[in-house]
Amino acid sequence: MRCWGLAPDGAAFETPFGSRLAPVRYGDSRAMLKIAGGPEERDGAAVMVWWGGDGAAPVLAHEAEALLLVRASDDGGLANLVRSGRDDQATAVLCAVADRLHAPRRKPIPPTVRPLDAWFRALWPAAEREGGLIGRAASTARGLLDAPRDIAVLHGDLHHGNVLDFGPAGWLAIDPKGLIGERGYDFANLFCNPWPEADDPDRLERRLDQVASASDLDRHRLRQWILAYAGLSAAWTLESGMPSDGPWRALRIAEMAAAGL
């Protein structure tokens, strides 16, 4: 705060991942100061810097764990669009942001990005233990990861809560994981959000059509990524030891995705 000349502009808070955030003033600008809570969050900050404000929130300053971002408006974001009957509009925004993030850059990729294959490490033991739908998700994921297409730097957690309205700058992403792999993976999470609206087979099918068309993705392969991601999400919930929601939400999405394969 002292080094960057920041003034508090609201109550600080902590994320479930252990990062600390504080709304601040940076001169005349509204900004958000984030102190990363671990290596994963630090790696995401490096990708934010690399994107340079193209598809992601502009970075004002960055050093070690500290990241200073332009602050978004507080309007409830894309989930509010879905809940007001504008799901197609929210999906279009997510597709447009993803396409900007995935675009090639004429600069070296950050060395901290993680391969997508390593990101799935929790799924394999869960599949051996649980079998069933998680086992099917694992075999589907293995096939996708063994023959990747359209490699890009990925956000890794692209959903309605991580794309915010930045006013004149439009809709931009925050909180990436910093991965590299097939770009189809980045679209899978949006099919799981927001809840409970995502628990609708007709909505999933409409989104499949829209995303496949807008982002030039194979519809069948996109459905496979949804199944693979939902299985991974269920595995993470089981691994955490705190399944307060249980893995049932993710498994419900996996069930709907698998029904069309």
Residues recognised as catalytic: 157
Structural contact between residues 91 and 81, judged by C-beta atoms closer than 8 angstroms: no
What is the token pair recorded at 140?
């589907």
The gap from C-alpha 148 to its chain's centroid, in whole angstroms, comes to 19
Sort 114 into a burial class: Cβ within 10 Å, 0-12 / 13-18 / 19+: middle
What is the token pair recorded at 3?
């080094």
DSSP string, 66-91: EEEEEPPP-S-HHHHHHHTT-HHHHH
E runs forming strands in 95-249 = 114-115, 151-154, 163-165, 171-173, 179-182
Phi, psi of 48 (to 5 degrees): -60, -45
What is the token pair recorded at 175?
């909180």
Residue with tokens 């601040």: 24
**Per-state percent for the chain, helix, strand, coil, to nearest 5:** 45, 20, 35
